[in-house]
Amino acid sequence: MAATLEATDVLNGGEFLIRDSRPEDVFIPEELNEEQLMVKQMALDFIKNEIDPIRARIEKQEPGLAPGLLKKMGDLGLLGAHIPAVYGGTEMDTNTNTVIGEVFGPAGSFIVSFAAHTGIGMLPILYFGTEKQKQQYLPGLVSGDLKAAYCLTEPGSGSDALAAKTRADLSADGSHYVLNGQKMWISNAGFADVFIVFAKIGGDKFTGFIVDAHTPGITLGAEEDKLGIKGSSTRQVFFENAQVPAENVLGDIGKGHLIAFNALNIGRYKLGVMCIGGNKEVVNVATRYANERQQFGQSIGHFGAIQYKLAEMAIRNFAAESAAYRTSQLMSDKKAAEEAAGQSYGQAMLEAAEEYAIECSILKVLGSEVTDYCVDENVQIHGGIGFSEEYSAARAYRDSRINRIYEGTNEINRMLMVDQLFKRALKGKLDIVSPAWAVQKELASMPSMEKLEGAYAEETKALSDFKKIILMTAGGAAKMQMDGKLNLKDEQEVLMNCADMMIDLYAAESMLLRVQKLVNMPKEQPQEVYDAMLQVFFHDATARMTKNATDALASFADGDLLKTFLMGLKRFTKYPAVNVKVKRRLVADALLKANGWAF
Catalytic residues: 407
d(CA 202, CA 235) in angstroms, rounded, equals 26
Q: Tell me whether strands 218-220 and 234-245 are parallel, antiparallel or unpaired.
A: antiparallel
Whether the Cβ atoms of residue 31 and residue 518 lie closer than 8 Å to each other: no
CA torsion sign for 474, 480, 482, 484 is negative
**Residues whose CB falls within 8 Å of the CB of residue 409, separated by 6 or more in sequence, listed in order:** 159
d(CA 305, CA 315) in angstroms, rounded, equals 16
Bridge-partner residues for 245, per DSSP?
176
In which element (H, E) is residue 277 found?
helix 256-292
- Which among 486, 469, 475, 501 is positioned nearest to 567, based on CA atoms? 469
**Residues whose CB falls within 8 Å of the CB of residue 509, separated by 6 or more in sequence, listed in order:** 16, 21, 463
| C-alpha atoms less than 13 angstroms from C-alpha of 501 in its C-beta half-sphere | 34
CA torsion sign for 13, 17, 23, 27 is positive
- Which among 514, 113, 574 is positioned nearest to 317, based on CA atoms? 514
453-469: b or e for each residue (b if 16 or more CB lie within 10 Å)? eeebebbbbbbebbbbb
d(CA 183, CA 154) in angstroms, rounded, equals 5
How many angstroms from the chain centroid is the CA of residue 34? 26
How many angstroms from the chain centroid is the CA of residue 566? 32
Residue 516 Ramachandran class (φ > 0 left, ψ -120 to 50 alpha, else beta): alpha
d(CA 507, CA 591) in angstroms, rounded, equals 21
d(CA 335, CA 90) in angstroms, rounded, equals 16
d(CA 100, CA 105) in angstroms, rounded, equals 9
Q: What share of the chain is helix, strand, coil (3-state, %, to 5)?
A: 60, 10, 30
